[in-house]
A and B are shown apart, each in its own frame.
Chain A
């Protein structure tokens, strides 16, 4: 019996083909990168990061971290990132709460509440977010009256100069409060919460609907009320279906926050745009943006995956 020639070898051949394919892909990537660097060099745009430590020279409207025009660009970008995180975290909490309420309202015994929830979801889901954001900012918040005519609720004053929370007082026609939110921040937060909540409501509704009818009936026959049935029996089981769906909604919310630039809120994207225009370092600024949003979204994914593991049925 003659030995099999190597090109007919059952185990070697697939390996060789895979190696060749892998090599081909590497060659393509190397070619693309080489081409990118060559063209960037030719256009005088070779990657450079020195601009990061140069003074920014522009101001940012509202920042949690102290910032002024003398600080370097990286501080401006960091201030923008913190602003993005601030609105994303608050919107996540708000949208989850509102979405859960609306989603479970679809199972309410109250017909009016059920229809209200449906109307809300259909209305919000089918209007572009940018349009909603512009509506909240230009039509709702910028139309607020000032001074004594401002809308006053317990612990909350809505005025053109901003939203005042906590203990509010009117001094010389200007409101003062424990906490002041700018209109830009409030408009973005409102738009993100209202928009994302509609999608989250559908995820929650789907999750609750996935719990077998028998579970509801069993809970009822044990004497539990509607609210108790929902919170003790149905929702814990529904979470297994809800959490994976929530993950993508949360990621979408984080990315949608970059629409802030339309309503004048200084988020990461807005600061990056100014930076891009003043430094001319388009590729670098885009890389920073890509990296930042990717990191935020991967973090959200990681947390949600961990949560997903916790709510799944523990197999024994």
Chain B
């Protein structure tokens, strides 16, 4: 008779425990009715994890005190304030353009607020399968050239090299526009925006291309910003919007309506400074039904979203209304000094429009 070999028994045990572990870890749980897994996870963690660009002044960058600032950053803070009641309960993760969708899909970040263009392919389940919140910035792709080059239009780039960040819509727009105009060019693709602009500044490319707001933002960090001009040609529509994954529609709704609340607040003239006074006033005036609903005094709009009743108040208290966010980060109150243009509310000739809060 031969004893059951010891080593073999150990090996079997190992295999069995491995199987057990995988069976537990590998199975995805089913969604439990109306409960949002993502929101439960964020509340349990007590912190929202937000994917941002991280090196783009005006949209998301770190200031000298180590604090994230920018339009994209404020959207993260507004969502954190709406859901958790505290705009500082956000952990920011820097993502490059090729990492961003994988980071969102794998759940590494809860929310992607990273100057991302809304496109059909990115929205569709058969494409990247994202769920986009309302557009927070209407942009268009542009080209930046050194002033000294004397290039004044896109035709001047015939036969030249153009620096572009890989994995962006800019890459495809550039190919389309150049093909339409039969302009020969060499696309030089870099993985990060820092590498892209380093190559441009070293004179490897005659032009750099990306969204016009980004070009303006990056230019503020150049050794001599005055030496570079953004050409008048607009190559594309670039509506930038925050995104969540398709799998959790309740979470997507919460983000969507938090952004709408910021747009609605501008329309209603509710600012970071006067929001408390507006709440006090609305509480004493039962005739202001719209305002009372929006501020969470009446009705259950917040509860329907799975958010606190005063989610809009919390978001506005944290970052102000959309107009304030814009002016502070990229408009007159910033170094970028971008015109509001299409980013005005609809009532003043722009494109921002929030559906009714009812």
Contact = CB atoms under 8 A, between A and B. Distances in A.
Task: Indicate whether A and B interact.
Answer: yes
Contact of A276 (B98, B175, B198): B98
Interface in B216-274: 246-247
Contacts of A8: 1-2
A8 B187 CA distance: 72
A13 B171 CA distance: 63
A160 B189 CA distance: 17
A264 B171 CA distance: 13
A44 B126 contact: yes
Interface string B13-54: 001101100110011100000000000000000000000000
**Residue among B18, B179, B186, B203 with max Cβ neighbours from chain A (10 Å):** B186
Contacts of A109: none
Interface string A1-42: 000000010100100010001001101100110010011001
Contact of A278 (B12, B121, B174): B121
Contact of B2 (A10, A24, A262, A273): A10
Interface stretch (A55-63, A99-107, A120-128, A287-295): A55-63
Contacts of B102: 282
Contact of B15 (A24, A31, A57, A264): A24
Contacts of A24: 15-16, 19
A69 B179 contact: yes
A202 interface: no
A62 B203 CA distance: 19
B125 interface: yes
Contact of B191 (A39, A57, A184, A262): A262
Given A10-B2, A69-B179, A143-B202, A261 B19 contact: no
Contacts of B175: 57-59, 69
Contacts of A45: 129
Contacts of B18: 28
Interface string B167-189: 11001101110110000011111
Contacts of B11: 21
B26 A35 contact: yes
B38 to A, nearest CB: 14
Nearest to B179: A69
B15 A276 contact: no
Contact of B167 (A25, A57, A274): A274
Contacts of B26: 31-32, 35
B132 to A, nearest CB: 14
Contacts of A257: none
Q: Bin chain A's interface residue count.
A: 35 or more
Given A264-B188, A264-B189, A278 B172 contact: yes
Contacts of A165: none
Contacts of B128: 280
**Residue among B105, B198, B199 with max Cβ neighbours from chain A (10 Å):** B199
B168 A138 contact: no
A183 B163 CA distance: 14
Contact of B105 (A28, A43, A266): A43
Contacts of A10: 2
B189 A266 contact: yes
B214 interface: no
A279 interface: yes
A266 B203 CA distance: 19
Given A10-B2, A58-B172, A59-B185, 14 more contacts: A31-B23, A35-B26, A62-B186, A184-B188, A264-B189, A264-B190, A264-B199, A270-B166, A277-B166, A277-B167, A277-B168, A279-B121, A279-B127, A282-B101
Interface of B: 1-2, 8, 11-12, 15-16, 18-19, 22-23, 26-28, 97-98, 101-102, 105, 121-122, 125-129, 161, 163, 166-168, 171-172, 174-176, 178-179, 185-191, 195, 198-199, 202-204, 246-247
26 contacts: A8-B2, A21-B12, A24-B15, A24-B19, A27-B19, A28-B19, A28-B22, A31-B19, A31-B26, A32-B22, A42-B247, A44-B126, A44-B246, A58-B171, A138-B202, A142-B199, A160-B204, A183-B204, A261-B189, A262-B190, A264-B189, A264-B204, A270-B166, A274-B189, A278-B171, A280-B122
